[in-house]
């Protein structure tokens, strides 16, 4: 990212305490006198203590630590002298503030380092003036400016006031460190919030407490979009501790707006009480009746039948390369299979919550959100307030996985507090959370492929059945073959059919890839066995055959495209590290492999799975090799992210959300099969460093583990399970049916 002088803005001013505050923006915003100011990142106190602001939310992926580490590295301060705080939500000052897409690292890798380099530059300039030397001969280390020739040095804190009065350096002159000289980046550090988490300190959204605060629940129909017919509000008001009960008609998002990011609130009933238990108990007295009959047609069994019908039709062609029909006709062997991936809930450990306090001007909000500025905008538009009247403070998220992109809980809390005219904390029950999630949408896909006599894939045809709402593809329902192995075939085609749904959907960790990887990498495994080839050798042969094909240019959004040159080494390394094919395995134990490119990361994974005669299965170990660039910025967090992604991905294989007459059939955690600590496998993580910029790790390690486990189950017992969740019953049925890739 190249920044001009006007795009790199420092507003330096000495505080009353003599501290230097460094304000630094990525883009120019209009201000008085034609200047610009985009927020404060660095505060340097006279005693040398440094406070750095993290502009992005943190939901466990480590952004609150990483972004300040980038600044601190170039600033040349000791990490143990740094204090980190969340920046306030303010798009004008901090530009984009969000957690999602594994973009914290690529989006901030250079800009945040320039923040530190600019701060260091003005400190060196101040020291040069005081020491009467050329700044070019000064160096920095450990929060000091050093004149090596004379042995003199000055602490940053002593230079703060002088540095605050110096002019802005030209950003083009800012030289960033060579990674070989890093003292903070590339080394392991615990998260800045880890001690507070271990001590149980109140840093999450759910922990927020305000003076005079009341507690609220918001009761909605279990069927999305249903209106309230009747409710006994008086009975709820008579319950102990209840202070206010009122109905909210609901405000629909404007036409064409993105669901979840747009303003709006579902119809419901707000209950405000002195404590949450009293508020939640009062909901039972409402006896609410909803106009939800239209949900009868939205049922998982109905969806299953409709998908089966649609998969027999041609579907609408989305993309095509070559003549797929001719290639299938002339193929030496043709294979076909139908795969299904279900709707999934996010199941964040911390249920959705938000605390809101009315102010003289508007509202002050404390929220565990992934998109704080979208939430701020949604609240302002829903209530008809000027944006400046809404203040949002980021709180640490107790898990997100994409669920907290949607700010419905923030809008609900704001509407309740605005009407109740008291500080309010809204907290969803687990049933609220599961029943009103923005689910990962399910998909049904018929795959057809042709092999030539040498076992090479010559044709790859995908017919995907996805879901639509209001005539448009639902959020999270995107289908793409570029990252799936089908793009390696000489001829490929993607067709699509849509089923209308009323279910609210969104993005789950590694969106789209978390389902597509299971479907396509499992089918690719079937093709390898049908060709009579080793699954890793089969993949490598197809990748190497494409080495001469130019890499596609980045997308309009700047996303790099699949590069087979980067996937080949990770597959070779995971084969080596896992001992693939070097020793026989016990009966009932199998190894499975999968490789996938998503969120700029290249990952290959091998799973070792034991399948009992009953069909019960357990993942014993997973070997992971990933290419996410030339440096692992914080190895502690990086390994944790990969281990967590593996565990999370296996968890995706265990559960599903089914709908009955428009509502989720699962109401609480006891209705779902969840990953247990005793089932967590050993995970071997290795990063293959390459000459590429670093990228994020929240998502790309997850997709391959799902098909790797499914392929290992086939290797262990011959059961090819094509429908998730992977249950013992499905494994037994696959065995009985003799469904094998042969």
Distance CA 382, CA 413 (A): 12
- Cβ within 8 Å of residue 116, ≥6 positions away: 42, 70, 71, 72, 73, 74, 75, 76
Residue 32 pLDDT grade (very low, low, confident, very high; cuts 50, 70, 90): very low
- Cβ within 8 Å of residue 131, ≥6 positions away: 138, 147, 150, 152, 154
**Residue 377 phi, psi (nearest 5):** -65, -40
Structure-token pair, residue 485? 């192995």
CB atoms within 10 A of CB 238: 12
pLDDT at position 258, please?
A: 58
DSSP tally for the chain: helices H, then strands E:
19, 30
pLDDT in tens, 457-474: 999 999 999 999 988 999
Topology annotation, domain 9-197: Aldehyde Oxidoreductase; domain 4 (3.30.365)
- DSSP for 662-705? TEES--SGGGS----GGGPPEEEEEE---SS-----SSTTSTTH
* Mean of all residue pLDDT scores within the chain: 91
CA contacts within 13 A on the Cβ side of 616: 3
pLDDT at position 30, please?
A: 28
CA 373, 376, 380, 385 torsion: positive or negative?
Answer: negative
pLDDT in tens, 480-506: 777 678 889 999 999 999 999 999 999
Topology annotation, domain 205-292+352-427: Aldehyde Oxidoreductase; domain 4 (3.30.365)
- Percent of the chain past pLDDT 70, that is, above it, reads 92
Structure-token pair, residue 271? 């209950």
- DSSP for 435-495? HT--BBPPEEEEEEEEE-TTS-EEEEEEEEEEEEETTEEPTT----SSSSGGGGSSEEEEE
Query: What number of residues does the chain have?
Result: 742
Strands 40-44 and 663-664: unpaired
pLDDT at position 151, please?
A: 95
pLDDT at position 33, please?
A: 29
CA contacts within 13 A on the Cβ side of 453: 0
Output Rg (C-alpha) for the chain, integer angstroms. 28
pLDDT at 621 over 60: yes
pLDDT at position 161, please?
A: 78
Distance CA 542, CA 523 (A): 15
Report yes or no: 474 and 505 within 8 Å, Cβ to Cβ: yes
Q: What is the pTM of this model?
A: 0.93
For the ranges 92-96, 168-172, 342-346, 556-560, the one whose mean pLDDT is highest: 342-346
Residue predicted with more confidence, 157 or 166: 157
Distance CA 108, CA 573 (A): 29
Distance CA 716, CA 611 (A): 6
Q: Which CATH number fits the domain 300-344+439-737, given the four candidates 3.40.640.10, 3.40.109.10, 3.30.365.10, 3.40.190.10?
A: 3.30.365.10
CB atoms within 10 A of CB 448: 18
Lowest mean pLDDT of 85-89, 162-166, 680-684, 712-716, name the range: 162-166
Question: In the predicted model, what is the mean pLDDT of residues 157-186?
Answer: 86
pLDDT at position 556, please?
A: 83
pLDDT in tens, 545-554: 999 989 989 8
Strands 144-147 and 601-611: unpaired
Distance CA 354, CA 217 (A): 11
* Rounded (5°) CA angle 563-565-568: 115
Specify the DSSP element, H or E, that contains 500: strand 491-500
Closest CA to 220 of 433, 388, 35, 27: 433
Domain with CATH 3.30.365.10 in the chain: 9-197, 205-292+352-427, 300-344+439-737
- DSSP for 127-189? HHHHHTS-GGG-EEETTEEEETTTTEEEEHHHHHHHHTTSPPPPGGG-PPPPGGG-SSTTS--
Structure-token pair, residue 86? 């969340």
pLDDT at position 261, please?
A: 62
pLDDT at position 255, please?
A: 58
Helix axes 535-544, 513-530, angle to 10 degrees: 100
Coil, helix or strand at residue 551: coil
pLDDT at 434 over 90: yes
pLDDT at 163 over 90: no
Structure-token pair, residue 287? 């006896």
pLDDT in tens, 576-619: 999 999 999 999 999 999 999 999 999 999 999 999 999 999 99
């Amino acid at each position: 990212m190249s920044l001009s002088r006007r795009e790199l803005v420092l507003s330096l001013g000495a505080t009353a305490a003599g501290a230097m505050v460094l304000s630094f923006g990525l883009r120019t915003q209009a201000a008085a006198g034609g200047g610009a100011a985009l927020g404060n990142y660095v505060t340097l106190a006279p005693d040398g203590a440094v406070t750095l602001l993290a502009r992005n939310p943190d939901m466990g992926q480590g952004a609150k630590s990483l972004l300040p580490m980038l600044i601190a590295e170039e600033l040349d301060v000791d990490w143990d002298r740094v204090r980190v705080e969340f920046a306030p939500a303010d798009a004008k000052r901090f530009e984009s503030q969000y957690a999602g897409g594994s973009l914290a690292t690529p989006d901030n890798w250079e800009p945040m380092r320039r923040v530190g380099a600019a701060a260091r530059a003005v400190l060196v300039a101040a020291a040069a003036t005081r020491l009467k030397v050329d700044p070019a001969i000064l160096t920095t280390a450990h929060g000091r400016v050093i004149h090596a020739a004379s042995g003199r040095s000055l602490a940053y804190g002593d230079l703060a006031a002088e540095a605050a009065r110096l002019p802005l350096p030209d950003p083009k002159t800012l030289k960033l460190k060579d990674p070989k000289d890093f003292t903070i980046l590339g080394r392991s550090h615990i998260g800045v919030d880890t001690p507070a988490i271990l001590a149980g300190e109140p840093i999450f959204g759910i922990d927020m407490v305000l003076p005079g605060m009341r507690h609220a629940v918001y009761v909605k129909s279990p069927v999305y979009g249903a209106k309230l017919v009747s409710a006994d509000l008086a009975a709820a008001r008579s319950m102990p501790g209840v202070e206010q009960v009122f109905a909210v008609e609901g405000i629909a998002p404007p036409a064409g707006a993105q669901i979840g990011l747009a303003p709006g609130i579902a119809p419901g009933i707000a209950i405000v009480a002195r404590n949450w238990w009293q508020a939640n108990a009062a909901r039972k007295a409402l006896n609410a009746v909803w106009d939800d009959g239209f949900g009868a047609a939205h049922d998982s069994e109905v969806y299953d039948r409709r998908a089966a019908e649609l998969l027999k039709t041609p579907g609408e062609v989305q993309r095509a390369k070559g003549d797929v029909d001719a290639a299938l006709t002339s193929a030496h062997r043709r294979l076909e299979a139908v795969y299904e991936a279900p709707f999934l809930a996010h199941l964040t450990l911390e249920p959705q919550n938000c605390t809101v306090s009315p102010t003289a001007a508007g509202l002050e909000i404390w929220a565990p959100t992934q998109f704080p500025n979208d939430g701020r905008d949604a609240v302002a538009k829903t209530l008809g307030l000027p944006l400046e009247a809404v203040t949002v403070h980021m709180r640490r998220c107790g898990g997100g996985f994409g669920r907290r992109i949607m700010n419905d809980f923030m809008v609900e809390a704001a509407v309740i507090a605005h009407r109740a005219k008291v500080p309010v904390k809204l907290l969803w029950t687990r049933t609220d959370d599961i029943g009103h999630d923005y689910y990962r949408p399910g998909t049904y896909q018929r795959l057809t492929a042709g092999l030539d006599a040498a076992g090479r894939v010559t044709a790859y045809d995908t017919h995907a059945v996805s879901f639509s709402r209001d005539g448009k593809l639902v959020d999270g329902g995107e289908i793409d073959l570029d990252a799936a192995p089908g793009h390696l075939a000489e001829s490929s085609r993607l067709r699509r059919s849509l089923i209308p749904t009323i279910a609210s959907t969104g993005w789950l960790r590694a969106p789209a890839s978390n389902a597509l990887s299971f479907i396509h990498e499992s089918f690719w495994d079937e093709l390898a066995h049908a060709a009579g080839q080793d699954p890793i050798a089969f993949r490598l042969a197809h990748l190497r055959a494409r080495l001469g094909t130019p890499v596609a240019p980045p997308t309009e959004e700047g996303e790099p495209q699949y590069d087979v040159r980067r996937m080949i080494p990770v597959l070779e390394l995971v084969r080596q590290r896992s001992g693939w094919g070097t020793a026989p395995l016990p009966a009932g134990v199998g190894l499975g492999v999968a490789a996938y490119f998503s969120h700029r990361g290249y990952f290959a994974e091998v799973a070792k799975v034991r399948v009992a005669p009953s069909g019960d299965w357990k993942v014993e170990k997973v070997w992971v090799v990933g290419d996410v660039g030339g440096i692992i910025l914080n190895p502690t967090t990086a390994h944790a992210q990969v281990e967590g992604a593996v565990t999370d991905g296996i968890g995706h294989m265990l559960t599903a959300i089914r709908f009955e007459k428009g509502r989720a059939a699962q109401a609480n955690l006891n209705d779902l099969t969840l990953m247990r600590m005793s089932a967590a496998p050993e995970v071997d993580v290795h990063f293959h460093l390459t000459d590429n910029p670093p990228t994020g790790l929240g998502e790309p390690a997850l997709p391959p583990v799902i098909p790797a486990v499914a392929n290992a189950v086939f290797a262990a017992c011959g059961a090819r399970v094509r429908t998730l969740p992977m249950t013992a019953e499905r494994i037994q049925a696959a065995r009985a049916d003799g469904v094998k890739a042969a």
